[in-house]
Amino acid sequence: MAQKADLLQGTLDMLVLRVLSRGELHGWGITQKLEQLSRSALQVDEGSLYPSLYRMEGKGWIEAEWRMTGNNRRAKFYALTRSGRRQLESETESWNRMAGIIAQVMHSP
Protein backbone atom coordinates (compact mmCIF):
# COMPACT_ATOMS: atom_id res chain seq x y z
CA MET A 1 0.00 0.00 0.00
CA ALA A 2 1.34 3.39 -0.93
CA GLN A 3 2.03 5.93 1.78
CA LYS A 4 -1.11 7.71 2.85
CA ALA A 5 -1.37 11.45 2.56
CA ASP A 6 -3.26 13.64 4.98
CA LEU A 7 -5.93 15.66 3.31
CA LEU A 8 -5.19 19.33 3.22
CA GLN A 9 -7.70 21.33 5.20
CA GLY A 10 -10.63 22.26 2.97
CA THR A 11 -9.69 20.09 0.03
CA LEU A 12 -12.18 17.34 0.86
CA ASP A 13 -15.09 19.42 -0.42
CA MET A 14 -13.31 19.97 -3.70
CA LEU A 15 -12.49 16.31 -4.09
CA VAL A 16 -16.06 15.26 -3.33
CA LEU A 17 -17.35 17.74 -5.86
CA ARG A 18 -14.87 16.42 -8.43
CA VAL A 19 -15.99 12.84 -7.82
CA LEU A 20 -19.64 13.80 -8.07
CA SER A 21 -19.00 15.71 -11.29
CA ARG A 22 -18.55 12.34 -12.99
CA GLY A 23 -21.98 11.11 -11.87
CA GLU A 24 -24.28 10.54 -8.93
CA LEU A 25 -23.00 8.54 -6.01
CA HIS A 26 -23.93 7.61 -2.46
CA GLY A 27 -21.64 8.28 0.49
CA TRP A 28 -20.06 4.85 0.41
CA GLY A 29 -19.55 5.13 -3.30
CA ILE A 30 -17.76 8.43 -2.81
CA THR A 31 -15.25 6.93 -0.38
CA GLN A 32 -14.66 4.04 -2.76
CA LYS A 33 -14.24 6.30 -5.72
CA LEU A 34 -11.83 8.58 -3.91
CA GLU A 35 -9.69 5.69 -2.85
CA GLN A 36 -9.75 4.26 -6.33
CA LEU A 37 -8.91 7.53 -8.05
CA SER A 38 -6.06 8.24 -5.63
CA ARG A 39 -4.85 4.70 -6.04
CA SER A 40 -5.54 4.14 -2.37
CA ALA A 41 -3.28 7.01 -1.41
CA LEU A 42 -6.27 8.77 0.13
CA GLN A 43 -8.36 7.22 2.86
CA VAL A 44 -11.46 9.26 3.49
CA ASP A 45 -12.54 9.55 7.07
CA GLU A 46 -16.31 9.07 7.37
CA GLY A 47 -16.29 11.43 10.29
CA SER A 48 -15.32 14.18 7.85
CA LEU A 49 -17.17 12.97 4.78
CA TYR A 50 -20.71 13.15 6.12
CA PRO A 51 -20.44 16.58 7.73
CA SER A 52 -18.91 17.74 4.45
CA LEU A 53 -21.77 16.27 2.43
CA TYR A 54 -24.36 17.83 4.67
CA ARG A 55 -22.63 21.15 4.63
CA MET A 56 -22.48 21.22 0.86
CA GLU A 57 -26.07 20.13 0.64
CA GLY A 58 -26.89 23.01 2.96
CA LYS A 59 -25.04 25.38 0.67
CA GLY A 60 -26.92 23.99 -2.29
CA TRP A 61 -23.83 22.69 -4.14
CA ILE A 62 -25.16 19.16 -4.15
CA GLU A 63 -28.58 17.65 -3.81
CA ALA A 64 -29.63 14.25 -2.53
CA GLU A 65 -32.24 11.70 -3.47
CA TRP A 66 -33.11 8.28 -2.10
CA ARG A 67 -32.94 5.61 -4.78
CA MET A 68 -32.27 1.93 -5.27
CA THR A 69 -28.73 0.76 -5.87
CA GLY A 70 -27.77 -1.83 -8.46
CA ASN A 71 -28.16 -4.64 -5.96
CA ASN A 72 -31.56 -3.36 -4.94
CA ARG A 73 -30.83 -1.51 -1.72
CA ARG A 74 -32.05 1.89 -0.68
CA ALA A 75 -29.31 4.52 -0.63
CA LYS A 76 -29.00 8.27 -0.62
CA PHE A 77 -27.49 9.48 -3.87
CA TYR A 78 -25.79 12.83 -4.18
CA ALA A 79 -25.57 14.83 -7.39
CA LEU A 80 -23.89 18.07 -8.34
CA THR A 81 -26.12 21.11 -8.79
CA ARG A 82 -25.40 23.97 -11.14
CA SER A 83 -23.98 26.08 -8.35
CA GLY A 84 -21.92 23.08 -7.24
CA ARG A 85 -20.43 22.89 -10.71
CA ARG A 86 -19.52 26.56 -10.58
CA GLN A 87 -18.00 26.03 -7.17
CA LEU A 88 -15.94 23.13 -8.45
CA GLU A 89 -14.65 25.23 -11.34
CA SER A 90 -13.59 28.08 -9.13
CA GLU A 91 -11.98 25.76 -6.58
CA THR A 92 -10.12 23.88 -9.26
CA GLU A 93 -8.85 27.08 -10.73
CA SER A 94 -7.59 28.45 -7.44
CA TRP A 95 -6.11 25.07 -6.54
CA ASN A 96 -4.18 24.96 -9.79
CA ARG A 97 -2.93 28.46 -9.30
CA MET A 98 -1.86 27.70 -5.74
CA ALA A 99 -0.20 24.41 -6.76
CA GLY A 100 1.68 26.24 -9.50
CA ILE A 101 2.88 28.90 -7.11
CA ILE A 102 3.98 26.34 -4.55
CA ALA A 103 5.77 24.30 -7.19
CA GLN A 104 7.50 27.39 -8.46
CA VAL A 105 8.73 28.26 -5.00
CA MET A 106 9.77 24.71 -4.15
CA HIS A 107 11.67 24.17 -7.39
CA SER A 108 13.44 27.46 -7.37
CA PRO A 109 17.17 27.00 -7.19
Partner 1 sequence: MTPLRLLARRLRFLFRRGAAEREMAEEMRFHLEMRTEDGLAGGLPADEARHAANRKFGNLGMVQAKSRDQFVFQWLEQLLQDVSYSARTLRKNKGYSIVALLTLGLGIGVNTTAFTVLNRLLLRPAPFADTRRLVHIRATSADGSEGSVSPGDFFDLRAQNTALDHVSAYYVSWLSTLAEPGQAAIRCDSISATADFFTALGIQPVMLGRAFTDQDEARHENIALLSHSFWVKHYRADPRVLGRILRTDGGFQYTIVGVMAAALDDPTLFVGTTDGLAFCTLMSGMDPRYRDRGWNSVVARLKPGVTAQRAQAELAALARRLAHDFPKSNTGRGFKTVPFPTRAMDEMGGRLVWLVMGLSGVVLLVACVNLANLQLVRTTARNNELGIRLALGCTRARLIRMLLTESMMISTAGGALGLLLAQWSNRYLAAYWKVDMPLNFRVIGFTCVVSAAAGALFGTMPALFASREQVNASIKQGARGTTPDRYRHRLRQALIVVELAMALMLLAGAGYFVRGIQRITQRDLGWRPEGVLIGYLALDHDHYGEVRDPRSVVFGDRLISEMASLPGVDAVALSNDNVFGANPINFEIEGRPPYERDVLASIETPSPGYFRAYGIRLLEGREFRDTDRPGTPKVAIISANMAQRYWPGESAIGKRIGTEDPAHQDWAEVVGVVGNILHDLEWDPRRSRYAIYYPWAQNSFRYLAVTLHSSGDPEALKEEVRKTFGRIEPNIAFSFLGAADELMAQDLMQYTVARRMLVQVAGLGLLLAAVGIYGVVANLAAERTKEIGIRMALGAQPRDVIWLFLGNGVRLALIGTGLGLAGAFGLNKALGHLLSDFPGNDPWVVGSVGIVLITVTLVACWLPARGATRVNPMDALRAD
Q: State the residues that interact with partner 1 by CB under 8 A.
A: 26-28, 31, 45-47, 50-51, 53-55, 57-58, 60, 63, 66, 73-76, 81, 83
Taking the complex as a whole, how short is the minimal distance between the CB of residue 61 and partner 1, in angstroms?
8
- Distance, CA of 106 to CA of 55 (rounded, Å): 34
**Residue 25 three-state SS:** strand
Q: Closer CB to partner 1, residue 57 or residue 91?
A: 57
Instruction: Give the residue ranges of DSSP H helices in 27-78.
Output: 27-37, 46-59
CB closer to partner 1 out of 39 and 107: 39
Complex with partner 1: residue 86 or 97, whichever CB lies closer:
86
| Shortest distance, position 86 Cβ to partner 1, whole Å | 13
What are the strands, taking DSSP E only, across the chain?
25-26, 62-68, 74-80
Output 18 or 84, the one with its CB closest to partner 1: 84
**Measured between alpha carbons, how far apart are the two ends of the chain, in Å?**
33
